[in-house]
Amino acid sequence: MGLTQSIRLSLGAALCLLPVFAFAHPGHDESGLMAGVAHPLSGMDHLLAMFAVGLWAAQQAGKARLMLPLTFVAGMLLGGLLGFEGFAIAHLETGIAASVLAFGLLVAVAARPPVALALAITGLFGLAHGIAHGMEFPQMSSPAAYAVGFLIATSALHAAGFALARGLPMRAAALVRALGLVSAGAGITLLAG
């Protein structure tokens, strides 16, 4: 897949998701499917972390390419269930900001740690993202629909990052690394704030 085709694919995926922004502001169903889809797209910390997981997965070889996004989604789902049951951890927002920094750095250096370590990192951060949102579920009128929407948007962000990174020619790998640095910089800003 060439650079132009990859950019078109990524832009096409992004354009398909644009209508959800109309539902991201108060006054609409704030706990249903569309709210769940909109949340990862409207929160910079979630958007950057989830997009970076896709970028990082694309930099991997073999089964890790698929396992990293699946592990994040599974960790987030488990975290959502734990949060729904009242499980909380200290400094959760700091952990989420740290995920933006960590995934950004991993992409920037094109890290290829052992698969077990990569999955542990990804699963842990997915768990943190899930707990944060699971704690909100009891206050919603339709938490299951929100969770499904959140999982759909998360998967789409993973896929967009993956498609962009895999579609670029090898000489453009520096662009993917630069995107990692941007994410890492945002993570530092989030941690400082």
Q: Is 26 helix (H, G, I), strand (E, B) or coil?
A: strand
Within a domain: 10: no
- For residues 110 and 84, give the distance between their C-alpha atoms in angstroms, rounded to a whole number: 35
Mean pLDDT to the nearest integer, 42-67 = 94
Within a domain: 15: no
Range scoring the smallest mean pLDDT among 57-61, 137-141, 142-146:
137-141
Mean pLDDT to the nearest integer, 169-182 = 88
Q: Which domain holds residue 88?
A: 32-192
Based on the structure, what is the number of domains in the chain? 1
Mean pLDDT to the nearest integer, 23-37 = 61
Q: Which of 38-47, 80-89, 97-106 has the highest mean pLDDT?
A: 97-106
- For residues 43 and 46, give the distance between their C-alpha atoms in angstroms, rounded to a whole number: 5
Range scoring the smallest mean pLDDT among 2-16, 67-81, 86-100, 118-132:
2-16
Within a domain: 2: no
Q: Can you give the pLDDT at residue 138? A: 59
Per-residue model confidence as pLDDT tens digits over 112-122: 999 999 999 99
Q: Which 8-state DSSP code applies to residue 60?
A: S
Within a domain: 99: yes
In our burial notation (b when 16+ CB lie closer than 10 A, e otherwise), range 104-132 reads bbbbbebbeeebeebbebbbbbbbbbbbb
Within a domain: 18: no
Backbone angles phi, psi at 47, to 5 degrees: -60, -50
Which residues, other chains included, contact 77 with Cβ-Cβ below 8 Å and sequence gap of 6+?
A: 130, 147, 151
Within a domain: 43: yes
Within a domain: 23: no
Within a domain: 84: yes
